[in-house]
Structure 1
Amino acid sequence: MFKVVLYQPEIPQNAGNIARTCAATGAQLHLVRPLGFRWASSELKRAGLDYWSALDYVLHDSWRAFLEALPQGSRVWAYSSKVTQLYTEVEYRPGDYLIFGPESRGLPPEVLAHFPAVTIPMPGSGRSLNLAVAVGVGLYEALRQVNFQAR
Protein backbone atom coordinates (compact mmCIF):
# COMPACT_ATOMS: atom_id res chain seq x y z
CA MET A 1 0.00 0.00 0.00
CA PHE A 2 1.31 3.44 -0.89
CA LYS A 3 0.95 6.36 1.47
CA VAL A 4 -0.01 9.83 0.28
CA VAL A 5 1.01 12.68 2.58
CA LEU A 6 -0.56 16.12 2.36
CA TYR A 7 1.62 18.64 4.15
CA GLN A 8 -0.59 21.46 5.44
CA PRO A 9 -3.24 21.22 2.70
CA GLU A 10 -5.28 24.38 2.25
CA ILE A 11 -8.29 23.58 0.06
CA PRO A 12 -10.90 21.13 1.38
CA GLN A 13 -12.16 20.15 -2.07
CA ASN A 14 -8.65 19.07 -3.11
CA ALA A 15 -8.20 17.05 0.07
CA GLY A 16 -11.60 15.42 -0.45
CA ASN A 17 -10.77 14.49 -4.05
CA ILE A 18 -7.44 13.07 -2.90
CA ALA A 19 -9.24 11.08 -0.21
CA ARG A 20 -11.41 9.54 -2.95
CA THR A 21 -8.33 8.68 -5.01
CA CYS A 22 -6.66 7.08 -1.98
CA ALA A 23 -9.76 5.05 -1.13
CA ALA A 24 -10.12 3.89 -4.74
CA THR A 25 -6.47 2.80 -4.96
CA GLY A 26 -6.00 1.39 -1.47
CA ALA A 27 -3.50 4.11 -0.57
CA GLN A 28 -3.32 5.40 2.97
CA LEU A 29 -3.80 9.18 3.36
CA HIS A 30 -1.76 11.19 5.87
CA LEU A 31 -2.66 14.81 6.59
CA VAL A 32 -0.16 17.02 8.40
CA ARG A 33 -1.61 19.92 10.38
CA PRO A 34 -2.26 22.75 10.34
CA LEU A 35 -4.98 22.22 7.78
CA GLY A 36 -6.42 25.17 5.90
CA PHE A 37 -9.93 23.92 6.70
CA ARG A 38 -11.84 22.17 9.45
CA TRP A 39 -11.65 18.37 9.32
CA ALA A 40 -15.43 18.24 9.61
CA SER A 41 -16.04 20.82 6.85
CA SER A 42 -18.90 20.13 4.47
CA GLU A 43 -16.70 20.96 1.45
CA LEU A 44 -14.21 18.25 2.44
CA LYS A 45 -16.89 15.66 3.07
CA ARG A 46 -18.79 16.50 -0.14
CA ALA A 47 -15.65 16.19 -2.31
CA GLY A 48 -14.93 12.78 -0.79
CA LEU A 49 -18.46 11.59 -1.62
CA ASP A 50 -19.25 8.21 -0.09
CA TYR A 51 -15.61 7.05 -0.04
CA TRP A 52 -14.90 8.12 3.55
CA SER A 53 -15.80 4.74 5.05
CA ALA A 54 -13.28 3.05 2.73
CA LEU A 55 -10.48 5.52 3.46
CA ASP A 56 -7.52 4.60 5.65
CA TYR A 57 -6.21 7.92 6.98
CA VAL A 58 -3.95 9.35 9.66
CA LEU A 59 -4.02 12.91 11.01
CA HIS A 60 -0.70 14.27 12.29
CA ASP A 61 -0.74 17.30 14.58
CA SER A 62 2.50 18.71 13.13
CA TRP A 63 5.41 18.03 10.80
CA ARG A 64 7.42 16.89 13.80
CA ALA A 65 4.66 14.45 14.80
CA PHE A 66 4.68 13.03 11.27
CA LEU A 67 8.45 12.56 11.35
CA GLU A 68 8.25 10.88 14.75
CA ALA A 69 5.56 8.49 13.48
CA LEU A 70 7.49 7.63 10.31
CA PRO A 71 8.80 4.07 10.63
CA GLN A 72 12.58 3.66 10.52
CA GLY A 73 13.79 3.02 6.99
CA SER A 74 10.68 4.41 5.29
CA ARG A 75 11.09 5.66 1.76
CA VAL A 76 9.59 9.09 1.15
CA TRP A 77 9.40 10.92 -2.16
CA ALA A 78 8.80 14.67 -1.97
CA TYR A 79 6.99 16.18 -4.96
CA SER A 80 8.08 19.68 -5.92
CA SER A 81 8.08 21.94 -8.97
CA LYS A 82 11.45 23.28 -7.78
CA VAL A 83 13.57 20.21 -8.63
CA THR A 84 14.63 18.51 -11.86
CA GLN A 85 14.46 14.75 -11.21
CA LEU A 86 11.36 13.38 -12.91
CA TYR A 87 8.85 11.37 -10.89
CA THR A 88 9.10 8.63 -13.55
CA GLU A 89 12.86 8.23 -13.03
CA VAL A 90 12.63 6.64 -9.59
CA GLU A 91 11.69 3.12 -8.60
CA TYR A 92 8.67 3.06 -6.32
CA ARG A 93 7.97 0.22 -3.92
CA PRO A 94 4.80 -0.64 -2.02
CA GLY A 95 4.92 1.16 1.31
CA ASP A 96 6.56 4.29 -0.10
CA TYR A 97 5.31 7.67 1.07
CA LEU A 98 4.53 10.35 -1.54
CA ILE A 99 4.47 13.80 0.04
CA PHE A 100 2.87 16.87 -1.50
CA GLY A 101 2.88 20.47 -0.28
CA PRO A 102 0.14 23.04 0.18
CA GLU A 103 -1.53 24.49 -2.88
CA SER A 104 -0.27 28.07 -2.55
CA ARG A 105 3.41 27.44 -1.81
CA GLY A 106 4.44 23.80 -2.20
CA LEU A 107 6.82 22.02 0.15
CA PRO A 108 9.12 24.29 2.19
CA PRO A 109 12.92 23.86 2.16
CA GLU A 110 12.92 22.19 5.59
CA VAL A 111 10.72 19.39 4.24
CA LEU A 112 12.62 19.08 0.96
CA ALA A 113 15.86 18.76 2.94
CA HIS A 114 14.66 15.49 4.52
CA PHE A 115 13.81 13.44 1.43
CA PRO A 116 14.68 12.94 -2.23
CA ALA A 117 12.49 15.16 -4.38
CA VAL A 118 10.89 14.55 -7.75
CA THR A 119 8.91 16.70 -10.15
CA ILE A 120 6.07 16.25 -12.60
CA PRO A 121 7.05 18.03 -15.82
CA MET A 122 4.85 20.82 -17.09
CA PRO A 123 5.89 21.57 -20.65
CA GLY A 124 3.21 24.25 -20.97
CA SER A 125 3.11 27.68 -19.38
CA GLY A 126 1.63 26.75 -15.98
CA ARG A 127 3.66 27.06 -12.77
CA SER A 128 2.01 24.12 -11.02
CA LEU A 129 -0.65 21.46 -11.30
CA ASN A 130 -3.74 21.26 -9.13
CA LEU A 131 -2.84 19.31 -5.98
CA ALA A 132 -5.41 16.57 -6.58
CA VAL A 133 -4.15 16.13 -10.15
CA ALA A 134 -0.51 15.97 -9.00
CA VAL A 135 -1.34 13.33 -6.40
CA GLY A 136 -3.19 11.28 -9.01
CA VAL A 137 -0.29 11.48 -11.46
CA GLY A 138 2.31 10.50 -8.85
CA LEU A 139 0.26 7.79 -7.20
CA TYR A 140 -0.73 6.14 -10.46
CA GLU A 141 2.87 6.08 -11.65
CA ALA A 142 3.84 4.32 -8.43
CA LEU A 143 0.97 1.86 -8.88
CA ARG A 144 1.87 1.28 -12.53
CA GLN A 145 5.43 0.42 -11.56
CA VAL A 146 4.23 -2.34 -9.23
CA ASN A 147 1.66 -3.59 -11.76
CA PHE A 148 -1.21 -2.19 -9.68
CA GLN A 149 -0.53 -4.80 -6.98
CA ALA A 150 0.08 -2.42 -4.05
CA ARG A 151 -3.12 -3.23 -2.17
Structure 2
Amino acid sequence: MNGEGSAPTDRLHVILASPEIAANVGAIGRTCVAVGARLWLVRPLGFHLDDRAVRRAGLDYWEHLDLVVVDDLDEVVAAFGLHRLWWFSTRAGRTYTEAAFAPGDGLVFGPESRGLPARRLEEAEDRALRIPMRPEARSLNLANATAVGLYEAVRQVEGRNSPAGGGLPS
Protein backbone atom coordinates (compact mmCIF):
# COMPACT_ATOMS: atom_id res chain seq x y z
CA MET A 1 0.00 0.00 0.00
CA ASN A 2 1.35 3.45 -0.75
CA GLY A 3 -0.49 5.83 1.50
CA GLU A 4 -2.92 7.22 -1.08
CA GLY A 5 -6.39 7.52 0.39
CA SER A 6 -4.99 6.62 3.79
CA ALA A 7 -6.57 9.20 6.05
CA PRO A 8 -6.55 8.27 9.71
CA THR A 9 -9.52 6.31 11.04
CA ASP A 10 -10.96 5.86 14.52
CA ARG A 11 -8.69 2.88 15.05
CA LEU A 12 -5.30 3.35 16.67
CA HIS A 13 -2.28 3.87 14.44
CA VAL A 14 1.36 2.91 14.85
CA ILE A 15 3.81 5.03 12.87
CA LEU A 16 7.39 3.79 12.46
CA ALA A 17 9.74 6.48 11.17
CA SER A 18 12.56 4.94 9.13
CA PRO A 19 12.61 1.54 10.83
CA GLU A 20 15.87 -0.32 10.32
CA ILE A 21 15.27 -3.92 11.43
CA ALA A 22 12.92 -6.15 9.45
CA ALA A 23 12.20 -8.51 12.34
CA ASN A 24 11.02 -5.62 14.52
CA VAL A 25 8.59 -4.47 11.84
CA GLY A 26 7.28 -8.01 11.40
CA ALA A 27 6.65 -8.33 15.14
CA ILE A 28 5.03 -4.87 15.29
CA GLY A 29 2.82 -5.74 12.33
CA ARG A 30 1.69 -8.87 14.15
CA THR A 31 0.85 -6.78 17.25
CA CYS A 32 -1.09 -4.31 15.09
CA VAL A 33 -3.17 -7.15 13.65
CA ALA A 34 -3.83 -8.44 17.18
CA VAL A 35 -5.35 -5.13 18.31
CA GLY A 36 -6.75 -3.85 15.00
CA ALA A 37 -4.30 -0.97 14.62
CA ARG A 38 -3.11 0.43 11.29
CA LEU A 39 0.66 0.36 10.72
CA TRP A 40 2.32 3.27 8.92
CA LEU A 41 5.89 2.89 7.68
CA VAL A 42 7.80 6.06 6.84
CA ARG A 43 10.58 5.76 4.26
CA PRO A 44 13.45 5.20 4.07
CA LEU A 45 13.19 1.65 5.32
CA GLY A 46 16.30 -0.28 6.31
CA PHE A 47 15.03 -3.42 4.53
CA HIS A 48 12.65 -4.56 1.78
CA LEU A 49 9.07 -5.31 2.80
CA ASP A 50 9.36 -8.75 1.23
CA ASP A 51 12.38 -9.48 3.43
CA ARG A 52 12.32 -12.98 4.91
CA ALA A 53 12.78 -11.59 8.44
CA VAL A 54 9.61 -9.49 8.10
CA ARG A 55 7.64 -12.49 6.93
CA ARG A 56 9.08 -14.76 9.64
CA ALA A 57 8.25 -12.33 12.47
CA GLY A 58 4.85 -11.44 11.01
CA LEU A 59 4.00 -15.09 10.35
CA ASP A 60 0.69 -15.59 8.57
CA TYR A 61 -0.68 -12.42 10.21
CA TRP A 62 0.99 -10.15 7.65
CA GLU A 63 -1.78 -10.69 5.07
CA HIS A 64 -4.28 -9.22 7.58
CA LEU A 65 -2.20 -6.13 8.33
CA ASP A 66 -3.63 -2.71 7.44
CA LEU A 67 -0.40 -1.16 6.14
CA VAL A 68 0.34 2.31 4.79
CA VAL A 69 3.76 3.33 3.47
CA VAL A 70 4.59 7.03 3.06
CA ASP A 71 7.67 8.95 1.98
CA ASP A 72 8.22 11.20 4.98
CA LEU A 73 7.00 12.12 8.44
CA ASP A 74 5.49 15.37 7.16
CA GLU A 75 2.86 13.28 5.34
CA VAL A 76 1.88 11.68 8.64
CA VAL A 77 1.69 15.04 10.42
CA ALA A 78 -0.44 16.43 7.58
CA ALA A 79 -2.80 13.43 7.74
CA PHE A 80 -3.25 13.48 11.54
CA GLY A 81 -2.30 16.93 12.78
CA LEU A 82 0.14 17.27 15.67
CA HIS A 83 -2.71 17.09 18.20
CA ARG A 84 -3.42 13.41 17.31
CA LEU A 85 0.15 12.12 17.44
CA TRP A 86 2.08 10.82 20.45
CA TRP A 87 5.87 10.81 20.03
CA PHE A 88 7.73 8.07 21.94
CA SER A 89 11.30 8.83 22.96
CA THR A 90 13.71 8.07 25.78
CA ARG A 91 14.31 11.85 25.87
CA ALA A 92 10.69 12.79 26.65
CA GLY A 93 9.67 14.16 30.04
CA ARG A 94 6.20 12.59 30.43
CA THR A 95 5.58 8.89 30.86
CA TYR A 96 3.26 7.04 28.51
CA THR A 97 0.82 6.39 31.37
CA GLU A 98 0.23 10.15 31.68
CA ALA A 99 -1.18 10.36 28.15
CA ALA A 100 -4.90 10.35 27.44
CA PHE A 101 -5.10 8.24 24.29
CA ALA A 102 -8.19 8.48 22.08
CA PRO A 103 -9.53 6.54 19.08
CA GLY A 104 -7.74 7.66 15.93
CA ASP A 105 -4.50 8.62 17.70
CA GLY A 106 -1.13 7.78 16.21
CA LEU A 107 1.83 6.50 18.22
CA VAL A 108 5.10 7.51 16.57
CA PHE A 109 8.38 5.66 17.08
CA GLY A 110 11.76 6.51 15.59
CA PRO A 111 14.49 4.35 14.08
CA GLU A 112 16.12 1.78 16.32
CA SER A 113 19.61 3.32 16.22
CA ARG A 114 18.78 6.99 16.84
CA GLY A 115 15.14 7.57 17.78
CA LEU A 116 13.03 10.50 16.67
CA PRO A 117 14.56 13.79 15.53
CA ALA A 118 14.91 16.42 18.28
CA ARG A 119 12.93 18.88 16.12
CA ARG A 120 9.87 16.63 16.21
CA LEU A 121 10.07 16.23 19.98
CA GLU A 122 10.43 19.99 20.48
CA GLU A 123 7.45 20.90 18.28
CA ALA A 124 5.21 18.46 20.16
CA GLU A 125 6.81 18.57 23.60
CA ASP A 126 3.48 18.13 25.42
CA ARG A 127 2.81 14.97 23.37
CA ALA A 128 6.26 13.39 23.76
CA LEU A 129 6.23 10.27 25.93
CA ARG A 130 8.77 7.93 27.44
CA ILE A 131 8.60 4.45 28.86
CA PRO A 132 10.29 4.46 32.27
CA MET A 133 13.27 2.18 32.69
CA ARG A 134 16.32 1.77 34.85
CA PRO A 135 19.37 3.86 33.92
CA GLU A 136 21.35 0.74 32.99
CA ALA A 137 19.15 0.31 29.90
CA ARG A 138 19.41 2.87 27.09
CA SER A 139 16.12 1.83 25.53
CA LEU A 140 13.77 -1.05 24.84
CA ASN A 141 13.70 -3.01 21.62
CA LEU A 142 11.42 -1.18 19.15
CA ALA A 143 8.91 -4.04 18.99
CA ASN A 144 8.70 -4.16 22.79
CA ALA A 145 8.36 -0.38 23.16
CA THR A 146 5.62 -0.33 20.54
CA ALA A 147 3.72 -3.12 22.30
CA VAL A 148 3.94 -1.31 25.65
CA GLY A 149 2.63 1.96 24.21
CA LEU A 150 0.00 0.38 21.97
CA TYR A 151 -1.49 -1.83 24.66
CA GLU A 152 -1.76 1.12 27.03
CA ALA A 153 -3.60 3.04 24.31
CA VAL A 154 -5.87 0.03 23.71
CA ARG A 155 -6.52 -0.29 27.45
CA GLN A 156 -7.59 3.34 27.66
CA VAL A 157 -9.65 3.41 24.45
CA GLU A 158 -11.38 0.08 25.09
CA GLY A 159 -12.01 1.04 28.70
CA ARG A 160 -13.83 4.20 27.62
CA ASN A 161 -15.85 2.45 24.95
CA SER A 162 -16.96 -0.55 26.96
CA PRO A 163 -19.41 -0.45 29.87
CA ALA A 164 -17.67 -3.50 31.32
CA GLY A 165 -14.30 -1.74 31.47
CA GLY A 166 -12.71 -2.85 28.21
CA GLY A 167 -11.07 -5.82 26.69
CA LEU A 168 -10.31 -6.76 23.13
CA PRO A 169 -12.84 -8.75 21.15
CA SER A 170 -12.13 -12.46 21.06
SS in 1 for 2:147: helix
Q: 1:89 corresponds to which letter in structure 2?
A: E
Name the CA distance, whole Å, in 1 between partners of 2:140 and 2:29. Answer: 17
Unaligned ranges ≥5, structure 2: 1-10, 160-165
Tell me the residue number matched to 1:93: 102
Name the CA distance, whole Å, in 2 between partners of 1:47 and 1:104. Answer: 20
Evaluate the alpha carbon distance shift between residue 58 and residue 74 of structure 1 in structure 2; reply closer, same or farther with a 3 A threshold: farther
Evaluate the alpha carbon distance shift between residue 72 and residue 122 of structure 1 in structure 2; reply closer, same or farther with a 3 A threshold: closer
| Cα shift readout 1:35-79 (whole Å, capped 9, x = no counterpart) | 0111111111111000012111100012233333x1457510000
TM-score of the two chains, using structure 2 as the length reference: 0.82
Name the CA distance, whole Å, in 1 between partners of 2:21 and 2:109. Answer: 13
The worse-fitting range, judged by mean Cα deviation, of 109-118 and 52-61 is 109-118
Tell me the residue number matched to 2:131: 120
Structure holding more helix per residue: 2
TM-score of the two chains, using structure 1 as the length reference: 0.92
CA contact (8 A) 1:94 1:150 kept: no
Percent of residue pairs identical:
49
Match of 2:156 among 142, 145, 150: 145
**Number of aligned pairs?**
150
User: Are 1:32 and 2:39 matched, yes or no?
Assistant: no
User: Are 1:133 and 2:144 matched, yes or no?
Assistant: yes
Unaligned ranges ≥5, structure 1: none
Q: Does 1 or 2 have the higher relative contact order (CA < 8 Å, sep 6+)?
A: 1
Q: Which has the larger radius of gyration?
A: 2
| Cα shift readout 1:85-119 (whole Å, capped 9, x = no counterpart) | 01001111011000001100000112223432010
Name the CA distance, whole Å, in 2 between partners of 1:104 and 1:24. Answer: 26
Tell me the residue number matched to 1:51: 61
Tell me the residue number matched to 1:10: 20
Name the CA distance, whole Å, in 1 between partners of 2:20 and 2:94. Answer: 26
CA contact (8 A) 2:19 2:25 kept: yes
The Cα RMSD (Å) is 1.8
